[in-house]
Amino acid sequence: MESIRCAEQRIRAAVSGSKVPEDPGHAEGTLRWLLELVPDADDALRLAALGHDIDRAIEAQRVRKNGFASFDEFKAAHASNSAEILAAILDDCGVSEATRIEACRLVRLHETGGDERSDLLKNADALSFFQNNIALYFDRNGPEETKRRAKWGFSRLSPELRHLVRQFRFESEELNSLVQSVIGSGKDPLE
C-alpha cells in the first residue's frame, strides 16, 4: 500500500507542475468520474486515471501537436509517452509489476479504449474534459477549435453516458451554446 501512496503522491506532484492550468483538476476529475463509474476500482485503474495525461506536465518530455498527420496520431503518441513516464514513477515507487503493467496499458489506451477497463478510463477522461477542462480550453483556443475538440471528445464517450454531458452548465453562455450545438439535446447528433 505504501508503494501506491508513493505513486499517487509522485503523480499528483508532477501534474501540479503542469503549465496547462486545468491539468491537476482534470486528473482528479478523471479519478472522481472513474470512481463514480466503478466505485471499487483497483489500483491500476486509479493510478491510470491520475496519470493518463502526465506527459503534459513534464515540458521536457511533452508530445506536441505539430508534426503529426492527424489529431488521433498526436493523441496516440501522447498516450504512449504518458505511459512511459508513468511506468518510471510506478517502478521507482515499487508498485507491483502486474499493477504497473496494467496501469500503463490502460494509459496507452485511454484515448481509444477497446476493452471494458480501458473504456472506463476513456469515459472518465472524456467526462472530466467536459466538466473540468472545456471552459479554460475555450478561453485559450476560441470557439472553432473548442467546437472541434468537443465533437471529438463527445464522439469517444460511450453512448450510454452522453446524457451526463447534457447536464453540464458553464458560466459562459457562448460556451453553453457551443457545447449544446455539438451534443444536441435529445437524439444523439453523432448517429
Q: Are 28 and 71 in contact (CB under 8 A)?
A: no
- What per-residue confidence (pLDDT) applies to 99? 98
Q: Are 66 and 78 in contact (CB under 8 A)?
A: no
- What per-residue confidence (pLDDT) applies to 106? 98
| Cβ count near 24 (within 10 Å) | 17
Q: Are 189 and 183 in contact (CB under 8 A)?
A: yes
Share of the chain above pLDDT 70, in %: 96
pTM of the model: 0.91
Q: How many C-alpha atoms does 24 have within 13 Å on its Cβ side?
A: 11
- What per-residue confidence (pLDDT) applies to 187? 46
- What per-residue confidence (pLDDT) applies to 191? 43
- What per-residue confidence (pLDDT) applies to 185? 52
Residues of the chain with pLDDT under 50: 186-191
- What per-residue confidence (pLDDT) applies to 186? 47
